[in-house]
Amino acid sequence: MASIQPLVLHAHATGPNPYKIAAALEFLSVPYTVKMWEFGDDPEKGVKGAKFLQLNENGRVPALEDPNTGVVSWESGACMNYIRRVYDKDEKVLGPRGKSEQDRVDFEKWEYFLLTTLGPMMGQNNWYRHYNATKNEDALNRYVEQCNRCYGVLEGQLKKTGGESILPGGVTAVDLHFEAWVRQHGFAQLSLDPFPSVEKWLAKMVSLPEIQRAYKKLKEAPAP
Ligand SMILES: N[C@@H](CCC(=O)N[C@@H](CS)C(=O)NCC(=O)O)C(=O)O
């Protein structure tokens, strides 16, 4: 691809999932613009409005439009894997460092663990802590417990790599998936004190220039 036209990342100011995609584009130096949407039903500005639903019938961000290929993706896992296939063909930047079948499985198991388990558990924790109209201590306790369990699993893995990256050998897309969620531990009122390797890893991730550029870009994007 000679010169790449900017991709369009559809995002929201607070939801963690679009930040992973911005970070991936930054790591690959792929140009992109950001279009912000509101949560709620506004037909012009909202993720549940007719305009946004034409892009993503699930009414959630991220969604990613690529004018270079005409491909539209949504669900952060699908967006990430699209970006990796098209813009990181030789897997040198975001893909698994080793190329054995075990290396690929290791990459996918941590990716799926975030997408199916840690991310949704933190999402439910946030819902019952901050948004649910009626208090439900049982539900909140269940999700707090599950988040802490997941942090413990991650702690075990990061101990093996000295807190440098989730998979040995350097930062990959897996770290980007986790960073966006674990960074929100304060808002989620989950302490990292029992998880020193997670804390060390997060401090490193947050300091990376690519991650900083991604957050700056989304924070500075025009409001919807
Ligand atoms: N599993 C999806 C979920 C996307 C998602 O839940 N996005 C949130 C923001 S991070 C959202 O759009 N929420 C709006 C809503 O629930 O109405 C992913 O990994 O992209």
53 token code pair: 């639903």
Closest ligand 1 atom, residue 61 Cα: 12
Asked if 118 and 124 count as a contact pair (C-beta separation under 8 A), the reply is no
- The reported pLDDT for the residue numbered 212 is 98
Length of the chain (residues): 224
CA–CA separation, 28 and 7 (whole Å): 12
104 token code pair: 């690929």
The predicted model gives 186-209 an average pLDDT of: 98
Q: What is the percent of the chain with per-residue pLDDT over 70, rounded to a whole number?
A: 100
List CB contacts of 25: < 8 A, sequence separation 6 or more.
7, 9, 31, 32, 83, 214
- pLDDT beyond 80 at 177: yes
pTM: 0.98
- pLDDT beyond 70 at 182: yes
- The reported pLDDT for the residue numbered 147 is 98
Supply the mean pLDDT for the chain.
97
Distance in Å, CA 100 to ligand 1 centroid: 32
Task: Give the pLDDT confidence of 89-112 residue by residue, as tens digits.
Answer: 999 999 999 999 999 999 999 999
Closest ligand 1 atom, residue 76 Cα: 20
Calculate the dihedral angle through the C-alpha atoms of 35, 94, 171, 160, rounding to the nearest 10 degrees: 130
Q: Is 39 in the pocket of ligand 1 (CB under 6 A)?
A: yes
DSSP reduced 3-state for 164 = coil
Q: Is 124 in the pocket of ligand 1 (CB under 6 A)?
A: no
Distance in Å, CA 138 to ligand 1 centroid: 24
Task: Give the pLDDT confidence of 17-48 residue by residue, as tens digits.
Answer: 999 999 999 999 999 999 999 999 898 999 99
Whose CA is closest to atom 11 on ligand 1? 60
Q: What is the percent of the chain with per-residue pLDDT over 90, rounded to a whole number?
A: 97
CA–CA separation, 177 and 76 (whole Å): 8
Domains of the chain, start order: 7-94+210-220 (3.40.30.10), 101-208 (1.20.1050.10)
Asked if 15 and 58 count as a contact pair (C-beta separation under 8 A), the reply is no
The predicted model gives 175-204 an average pLDDT of: 98
CA–CA separation, 154 and 42 (whole Å): 38
- pLDDT beyond 70 at 201: yes
Q: Is 46 in the pocket of ligand 1 (CB under 6 A)?
A: no
- The reported pLDDT for the residue numbered 1 is 62
- The reported pLDDT for the residue numbered 149 is 99
- The reported pLDDT for the residue numbered 145 is 98
